[in-house]
Structure 1
Amino acid sequence: MTAPTASPATASPAPVSPGPLAGLRIALFSGNYNYVRDGANQALNRLVGYLLRQGAAVRVYAPTVAEPAFAPTGDLVGVPSFAIPGRAEYRVPLGLFGRVKRDLAAFAPTVVHVSSPDPAAHRAVSWARSRRLPVLASVHTRFETYPRYYNLAFMEPPLEALLRRFYRRCDALVAPSESMAQVLREQRMNYDIDIWSRGVDREIFHPGRRDLAWRRGLGLADDEVVIGFFSRLVMEKGLDVFSDAIDELARRGVKHRVLVVGDGPARDWFAGRLPEAVFTGFLGGADLARAVASMDVLFFPSVTETFGNVTLEAMACGLPVVVSEATGSESLVDDRRSGRLIRPGAIRQFADALQAYVADGALRSAHGAAGEARSRDFSWDRINQTVADTYLRLIRQRAARG
């Protein structure tokens, strides 16, 4: 278990100018704010940066480690946590104890934001409700789908029930896509759900990042069609489906290459399944954008995404995308115009879609251009303002109820 670390129990420094969100004080609880890099915590750090620039005060409560993946945005207070057995890179925050709880009380938030259904978040919800403070929960992943990737599918119904209890104690939810919001409504998680979409940094991700010389350095010829995958390498990202579909292409004699960008506990398994693939390991920022733009098509069969940051970044780089017909992807991809939406687990259909792109350069170009145009709709500042607006609405509603 890690001991909590905390800054002095004071408010964040006042901004130079008041800003439109002055007076808004957000206590944000995260299970992973910066110790392992992923799409969810990148979105949270961007949100905190935006809120601070607008004059809000933000305090983040999350597990901390000696060597985090990146520096946190804003004030981070460490909470006690333990490593998940079998997945030691991730930690479970235990709750609100001692100086962490005193720090929270001294900060005196006007709204509490919880971003993962862990023990600390449960305690934070109870703490807020006892003080009649509004609580917003952001949904970043389909936790209830994880057991199926570890031969524990029987755990899905009770896990869904636990999630329902957690989310229904919150005043509202924000989901990253309308398709995910609809899933949450159907699961009866909550009925006050706003959309907090995701953005893409178009100064980094764009077609101009394509670099054939870089590809050649990896042994990928200019005339080879490269099917790409980039994400954290864990089984819940659909690595088994990806591998099976690539095997099907090989059986059909479809010439292609595979480029995998990322790292994680399943890397050895994935490399063993795809011995001819090129693995770059983890890349970030401009290096990641260069790798993505240097692919020819993205294949990302995960069904656990609530939005699809990977898909959006690939689209911004001008790639056609082959993805599962699942929450998140359905809100991004226009089937047969900017990519293909395929029934989850349908190996032959995934292979059919990939084969069509491998065989037809004009089709790749047309669908890639359509996806790149669609990606221009996602501005981070506009997207993050929707969360700020939700905070303010919940505060007004709470005040009106007295």
Structure 2
Amino acid sequence: MRILHIFDHSLPIHSGYTYRSRAILKAQVARGWAVEGVTGPRQGVSDSGVETFDGLTFHRTTAHRPARAPLGEWREMRALAERIDSVVDSFRPDVLHAHSPVLNALAMLKVARARKLPCLYEIRAFWEDAAVGNGTGREGSARYRLTRAAESFAVRRVDRVAVICEGLRGDLIARGVDGDRIMVSPNGVDMGMFGTPLPRDSALAAARGLNGADVVGYVGSFYDYEGLGDLIAAMPALVAARPNARLLMVGGGPVDAALRAAAAASPVASHIDFVGPVPHAEVERYYSVIDVLAYPRKRMRLTDLVTPLKPLEAMAQGKLVAASNVGGHRELITDGVTGTLFAPDDPSAIASALAGLFANRSGWDERRATARAFVERERNWSSNVSRYQPVYQELIAAARTDTSWSRLPKVNA
């Protein structure tokens, strides 16, 4: 099979989005499929129209002239559609596979109709909800409603829809989308890349003052919806219960300055350590010195509908996970079995949950082993990618026998 993927951005940019993209492409290549990617104008300027990273080929779209919405988005979509169309000529794919945001799906649809190619649209989060979570949009605004309408328009016109979790699938079904047209391709971990935990890095622990400490960590992007301000606010109560508690913050993002200011103003500021962003190849060193990974996401539509990737990486690293009790986390974590869930938006609940974990280490080994086994069994990309195969195959078969490819038979996946 020959699959052309359409992305917002890709390697060498490092983000949860690009790590999932890389994992999908690598796993599909390992199955013997021919895969390449096209990225939109938001990838930024590149020296070449085609770039290769980590053995994967990406075709770049020339950045458009800046313009205010919605003209800017229309230009992006037109430029991306033109680039997809040109790559179709050279790569000759069997299937077009676009990944959110919705502009990618709309650009893909234009080419799919003209070229009579079957297409799959994969939603990782609803763009309008992501904007609210990032602080760049407001729920119920005109822009929010327009983006939601565009999403609904796209999912009704592509041949198949993929989503990363049941929360997104349920939302689409509530909009009237036939559930049999929606496959779930959950977030996973490339165990070959991230599944062999390093031994504790004693030198790093000593350098960060973590020897003998109860270490809570967060590794990821600093967005407001991640609830990291609540984690910092929980530290005085946690330190009162566990005087050797330390918080290690690894990463960066839009609320970095605000979080650092909150930490500096905390009465336990000396117990909070901001590392900043680190190269992906160095992340496992920091996992090795952390006892419990904390994910205190706020409760909102985005976090209730979407499953994050980072808790799965922590489980694969054999780490304990504690997370807020929102819908996206509940799809990944069984409270008391594979992790600990605490009330969202509540620093006292965070402190209580973390203090309880450190006070009782007797079940740690069993819980870490159970969580890692869950990732290996159900969230391992080498097996997850097989979910695409029956969908691709039926799309290809139907396109070859039925020229009206918008009326394809249903796939139960």
Q: Normalised by the shorter chain, which TM-score bucket?
A: 0.7 to 0.9
Counterpart of 1:241 in structure 2 is: 230
Distance in 2 separating the partners of 1:93 and 1:346: 43
Q: Which moved more, 1:122-131 or 1:236-245?
A: 236-245
Q: Calculate percent identity across the aligned residue pairs.
A: 22
Distance in 2 separating the partners of 1:93 and 1:338: 46
RMSD, aligned α-carbons: 3.2
The correspondence of residues 88-167 of structure 1 with structure 2, limited to 5 A, is 94-97=76-79, 101-146=85-130, 147-150=132-135, 152-155=138-141, 156-167=144-155
Counterpart of 2:184 in structure 1 is: 195
Q: When you count helix as a share of all residues, which structure comes out higher?
A: 2
After superposition, the Cα gap between the structure-2 partners of 1:32 and 1:109, relative to the gap in structure 1 and judged at 3 Å, is: same
Q: Which amino acid aligns with 1:315?
A: M
Residue 294 of structure 2 aligns to a residue whose secondary structure is strand
After superposition, the Cα gap between the structure-2 partners of 1:99 and 1:384, relative to the gap in structure 1 and judged at 3 Å, is: closer
- Report the Cα offset of residue 284 of structure 1: 4.2
After superposition, the Cα gap between the structure-2 partners of 1:359 and 1:212, relative to the gap in structure 1 and judged at 3 Å, is: farther
After superposition, the Cα gap between the structure-2 partners of 1:30 and 1:318, relative to the gap in structure 1 and judged at 3 Å, is: same
Q: Which amino acid aligns with 1:395?
A: I
- Report the Cα offset of residue 262 of structure 1: 1.3
Residue 389 of structure 2 aligns to a residue whose secondary structure is helix
The correspondence of residues 337-352 of structure 1 with structure 2, limited to 5 A, is 337-352=337-352
Question: Could you tell me which of 201, 226, 232 is aligned with 1:211?
Answer: 201
Count of aligned pairs: 373
Q: Which amino acid aligns with 1:264?
A: G
Distance in 1 separating the partners of 2:232 and 2:147: 28
Consecutive unaligned residues in structure 1, runs of 5 or more: 1-23, 86-90
Q: Per-residue displacement from partner, 1:254-298 (whole Å, max 9, x unpaired)?
A: 651101111223322222222332122223455212211321111
Distance in 2 separating the partners of 1:274 and 1:93: 42
Counterpart of 1:267 in structure 2 is: 256
- Report the Cα offset of residue 235 of structure 1: 2.3
Distance in 1 separating the partners of 2:331 and 2:65: 34
Distance in 2 separating the partners of 1:386 and 1:233: 32
Counterpart of 2:29 in structure 1 is: 52
Counterpart of 2:315 in structure 1 is: 315
Q: Which amino acid aligns with 1:143?
A: W
- Report the Cα offset of residue 400 of structure 1: 4.7
Distance in 2 separating the partners of 1:25 and 1:173: 18
After superposition, the Cα gap between the structure-2 partners of 1:82 and 1:298, relative to the gap in structure 1 and judged at 3 Å, is: farther
- Report the Cα offset of residue 35 of structure 1: 4.7
After superposition, the Cα gap between the structure-2 partners of 1:45 and 1:357, relative to the gap in structure 1 and judged at 3 Å, is: same
2:174 aligned with 1:186: yes
Q: Which moved more, 1:331-340 or 1:240-249?
A: 240-249
Counterpart of 2:19 in structure 1 is: 42
Residue 166 of structure 1 aligns to a residue whose secondary structure is helix
Conservation of the 8 A alpha-carbon contact between 1:117 and 1:166? no
Conservation of the 8 A alpha-carbon contact between 1:115 and 1:137? yes
Conservation of the 8 A alpha-carbon contact between 1:297 and 1:364? no
After superposition, the Cα gap between the structure-2 partners of 1:167 and 1:241, relative to the gap in structure 1 and judged at 3 Å, is: farther
Conservation of the 8 A alpha-carbon contact between 2:248 and 2:273? yes
Conservation of the 8 A alpha-carbon contact between 1:298 and 1:322? yes
Q: Which amino acid aligns with 1:103?
A: V
The correspondence of residues 73-84 of structure 1 with structure 2, limited to 5 A, is 73-81=55-63
Q: Which moved more, 1:273-282 or 1:246-255?
A: 246-255
Q: Which moved more, 1:318-327 or 1:60-69?
A: 60-69
- Report the Cα offset of residue 84 of structure 1: 9.4
Counterpart of 1:169 in structure 2 is: 157
